[in-house]
């Protein structure tokens, strides 16, 4: 690889050096989720010269994202661009050497192997435990390292999972949190908490990719940037009896735990339909008598007071304006079909 001035300051850091930089250029990393954490870590890793970045995200850019999602701008929000597409375009503008691939998709048991199978490292930048347990099952089963990261309000938490060596997500949290969970939509979020966790995650990724494995942190680390409370829990070995790493019972990967409808944030419901291809032009004609409709190549939006439906080409829909899955099902059935 020809060494470029671009990376000169990073190469000067002895633990990276020329050999490390070369390894980064040959690396393939997948980032699942491209919200606040995802844009932070994608930006850092793309600037650091990771060769191939895959960005998987199911959402579109909204004005309320701009406070913390550092790869997006007002034009992206005005166009409702899918986040993965907008992020890959921004990366192309500041580092065209990086091969950034956008995948506008919901990560599922059916597509996870095809999407993440060739990544050397998986970075969690999702906002939900359902997807994290799915990643954990896949990663443990395939011996692939991944890095958990989450942030809400002023709180950030992260853990490196190296299958066969460290604890996995199920070792630490045997079951997903029950009932309602605080999210960025309910508890708010400071952009500094997100950037902290993205920075830690990106640094751990660099250590792994350049081969500095003895430097990888082997704890669950949490930090509250407002109170300055900090905690670390040992995670250096698997928990005896762990359903995932010891019993190899991959319930999330087998799809047994997958709901077809989920609450996503405050006052919205997602219908995980994936096999109902939608013709946006035809659908626009169908919906126009019932409300306001707008679409581009990636997403169709339909406003019918007090609801807002966002429909994707595969039939997946996010219905805003309700927490009631029955209402959401009904709206979907009425306007999209089921
Ligand atoms: Zn485990």
Instruction: State the distance from the centre of ligand 1 to the C-alpha of 40, rounded, in angstroms.
Output: 28
pLDDT digits (tens, 9 = 90+) for 223-242: 999 999 999 999 999 999 99
Strands (E) in the chain, as ranges, are 28-32, 52-57, 99-104, 121-124, 146-152, 155-161, 219-224, 230-234, 261-263, 268-271, 292-295, 300-304, 307-311, 317-320
pTM: 0.82
Whether pLDDT at 180 is above 50: no
Instruction: State the distance from the centre of ligand 1 to the C-alpha of 44, rounded, in angstroms.
Output: 29
Average pLDDT, the chain: 91
Instruction: State the distance from the centre of ligand 1 to the C-alpha of 175, rounded, in angstroms.
Output: 11
The edge-to-edge listing of strands for the beta sheet with 155-161 is: 99-104, 52-57, 28-32, 121-124, 146-152, 155-161, 219-224, 230-234
Q: Are strands 230-234 and 292-295 parallel, antiparallel or unpaired?
A: unpaired
| Percent of the chain residues topping a pLDDT of 90 | 71
pLDDT digits (tens, 9 = 90+) for 90-133: 999 999 999 999 999 888 899 999 999 999 999 999 988 888 99
142: which DSSP letter? Answer: H
Instruction: State the distance from the centre of ligand 1 to the C-alpha of 169, rounded, in angstroms.
Output: 6
Instruction: State the distance from the centre of ligand 1 to the C-alpha of 164, rounded, in angstroms.
Output: 9
Instruction: State the distance from the centre of ligand 1 to the C-alpha of 117, rounded, in angstroms.
Output: 20
Compare 338 and 304 and report the one with higher pLDDT.
Answer: 304
Which range has the worst mean pLDDT, 64-73, 105-114, 277-286, 327-336?
Answer: 327-336
Once rounded to an integer, what is the mean pLDDT over residues 129-147? 95
Whether pLDDT at 213 is above 50: yes
């Amino acid at each position: 690889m020809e060494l470029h001035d671009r990376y000169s300051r990073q190469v000067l850091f002895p633990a990276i050096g020329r050999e490390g930089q070369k390894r980064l250029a040959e690396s393939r990393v997948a980032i699942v989720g491209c919200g606040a954490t995802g844009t932070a870590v994608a930006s850092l890793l793309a600037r650091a010269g990771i060769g191939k970045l895959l960005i998987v995200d199911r959402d579109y850019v909204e004005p309320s994202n701009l406070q913390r999602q550092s790869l997006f701008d007002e034009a992206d929000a005005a166009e409702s661009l899918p986040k993965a597409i907008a992020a890959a375009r921004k990366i192309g503008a500041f580092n065209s050497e990086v091969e950034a691939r956008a995948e506008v998709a919901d990560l599922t048991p059916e597509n996870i192997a095809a999407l993440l199978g060739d990544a050397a490292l998986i970075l969690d930048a999702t906002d939900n435990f359902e997807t994290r347990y799915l990643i954990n099952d896949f990663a443990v089963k395939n011996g692939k390292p991944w890095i958990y990261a989450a942030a809400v309000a002023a709180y950030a938490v992260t853990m490196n999972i190296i299958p066969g060596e460290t604890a996995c997500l199920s070792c630490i949290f045997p079951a997903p949190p029950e009932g309602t969970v605080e999210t960025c939509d309910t508890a708010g979020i400071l952009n500094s908490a997100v950037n902290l966790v993205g920075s830690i995650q990106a640094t751990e990724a660099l250590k792994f990719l350049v081969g500095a494995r003895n430097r990888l942190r082997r704890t669950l680390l949490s930090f509250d940037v407002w109170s300055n409370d900090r905690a670390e829990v040992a995670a250096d070995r698997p928990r005896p009896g762990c359903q995932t790493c010891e019993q190899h019972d991959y319930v999330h990967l087998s799809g047994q735990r997958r709901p077809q409808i989920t609450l996503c944030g405050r006052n919205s419901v997602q219908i995980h339909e994936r096999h109902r291809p939608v013709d946006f032009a035809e659908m626009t004609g169908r919906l126009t008598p019932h409300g306001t409709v707008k679409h581009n190549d990636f997403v169709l939006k339909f406003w019918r007071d007090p609801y807002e439906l966002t429909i994707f080409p595969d039939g997946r829909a996010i219905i805003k304006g309700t927490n009631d899955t029955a209402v959401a099902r009904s709206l979907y059935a009425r306007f999209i079909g089921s």
